[in-house]
Amino acid sequence: MMTSDKIFSMLLKSGEYVKGEQIAGLLGITRTAVNKHIKKLQSEGIEIDATRRGYKYIPSNTLTRVTLSSKILECGLPPQVIVEVVDSTNTAVKAIISSGDNEGNDILFVAPMQIRGRGRLTRQFESSEGGVYMTLCYNPKSLSVTDSLKIVLLTGLCVARVLSEHVADVTIKWPNDVFIKDKKICGILLESVLNEYMVDKIILGIGVNVSNNIPDNLSSIVTSLAENGVSVNREDIIIKITKLLYKELAEYEISGFKSFLDEYISKSRTIGNIVTVKSGERNITGQAVGLSEEGYLLVNNCGVIEKVIVGDVEV
């Protein structure tokens, strides 16, 4: 851990003013060095009050590697944290994996904004400043290719749970678009690295509209937390989602999707409703009646139960 990270971690844990000499003593450095590191943290956008009483971290709406990685460490979570503006956090993580630089570690890549955010089915994902754009690279113990869709469903469920702590009326459109009332607030893009029939790495991209501006052409179908009167720290949302994902991915690896099924169905805006699914060249209309073992959507099409593997659902 870098010295400035250690200093930030002390301030975060204390929540109060910490004397320069105390920090210097604990780290075995001079007070001038402490002052230099504090200035570096401040220059990275971290608000630290420096008075005669010492230094105090003032929590603010930052999104920096230092603050986020300290919080991740404090929760006992494993991923290495990177915060950077990039084209797409999923693409950036895939590049790190191909370079072999991450030595098999988990990565949490976060961007304050993305230049070319990517969505499902090769679509673009609007990613202006103010949203949460994160990709978690998770090394599973033993997941097979057939688990992939259920991981996607599980992620939607985790995000929905976190958002429900802040706002009412959160639902999931199969497979994993999270909605507030009738507008989408979060999209998820899973791009796993496979090794024959097994999932070697899960690359889980999550985009949540927090206080980013929603362009006019999307405003009838897309919303943000801010639009719903919720003001929230992006780092808190990232930490909550990451923490929950680690907990529930571990649970999934032991017991599968069974224990999540009832909750997924109760939060689903698809199951139980009449839907039209555009799947390739076909349009399937009927009542969505449930999920198959694999997580496919089951649609009752004039008495015939069809399994929808991939597609766009209209409710």
* Residues lying near ligand BTN in the complex (CB under 6 A): 88-90, 114, 117-120, 123, 125, 133-135, 187-189, 205-207
Type of residue found at 208: V
Of 46 and 172, which CB lies nearer to ligand BTN in the complex structure? 172
Shortest Å distance, C-beta 129 to ligand BTN: 13
Query: What's the farthest any 2 CA atoms get from each other in the chain?
Result: 77
Q: What are phi and psi of 154, to 5 degrees?
A: -60, -40
Of 134 and 157, which CB lies nearer to ligand BTN in the complex structure? 134
Q: Are strands 193-195 and 274-279 parallel, antiparallel or unpaired?
A: unpaired
Q: Are strands 107-111 and 80-83 parallel, antiparallel or unpaired?
A: parallel
Helix, strand, coil percentages, rounded to 5, for the chain: 35, 30, 35
Of 53 and 123, which CB lies nearer to ligand BTN in the complex structure? 123
Shortest Å distance, C-beta 107 to ligand BTN: 13
Q: Which residues pair with 283 in a beta bridge?
A: 278
Shortest Å distance, C-beta 156 to ligand BTN: 11
Structural Rg of the chain based on CA atoms: 22
**Separation between Cα atoms, residue 55 and residue 19, nearest integer Å:** 6
Shortest Å distance, C-beta 207 to ligand BTN: 3
**Separation between Cα atoms, residue 19 and residue 35, nearest integer Å:** 11
Shortest Å distance, C-beta 260 to ligand BTN: 20
Cite the beta strand spans of the chain per DSSP E. Answer: 48-51, 54-57, 80-83, 107-111, 132-138, 170-173, 177-180, 183-190, 193-195, 198-208, 274-279, 282-291, 297-301, 304-308, 312-314
Shortest Å distance, C-beta 134 to ligand BTN: 6
Of 29 and 97, which CB lies nearer to ligand BTN in the complex structure? 97
Cβ-closest position to ligand BTN: 187
Of 294 and 312, which CB lies nearer to ligand BTN in the complex structure? 312
Shortest Å distance, C-beta 208 to ligand BTN: 8
CA atoms within 13 A on the CB side of 314: 7
Of 125 and 252, which CB lies nearer to ligand BTN in the complex structure? 125
Of 135 and 212, which CB lies nearer to ligand BTN in the complex structure? 135
